[in-house]
Amino acid sequence: DSGVTQTPKHLITATGQRVTLRCSPRSGDLSVYWYQQSLDQGLQFLIQYYNGEERAKGNILERFSAQQFPDLHSELNLSSLELGDSALYFCASSQPGVVEQYFGPGTRLTVT
């Protein structure tokens, strides 16, 4: 158990819908990262937050957005969902000044 929690574990929804994925980082970690892993693919970096502020952006679609709240939990919002958005979405966190990221168990999103 990495100490990073993600909810829900599984999510099934229809095309065109909007969902919110939630992540709670490990105690003491200020950075939160979001990744997308499509079937049998590597991880694609989406976005990073540090202490509530956006720090870096990767290949995140305009239909996707994220935020980090004062209690440091983070949410990833996915809207106008398409079949191709079906994937495993990981959240990871890290401590200030430390490079290692620790991953949550992921949220499996299925768009039908």
Q: Examine residue 7 and tell whether it contacts other proteins (CB under 8 A).
A: no
Q: Examine residue 110 and tell whether it contacts other proteins (CB under 8 A).
A: no
Tracing tokens 């499996």 back to the chain, one arrives at 108
Query: Residue 95 and residue 15: Cα distance in Å, rounded?
Result: 36
DSSP 26: P
DSSP 94: E
- Of 85, 9, 89, 108, nearest to 43 by C-alpha is 89
| Interface characters, 49-88, with other proteins (x: CB under 8 A) | ------xx-x-----------------------------x
| Interface characters, 27-56, with other proteins (x: CB under 8 A) | ------x-x-----xxxxx--x------xx
CB of 5 to other proteins, least distance (A): 12
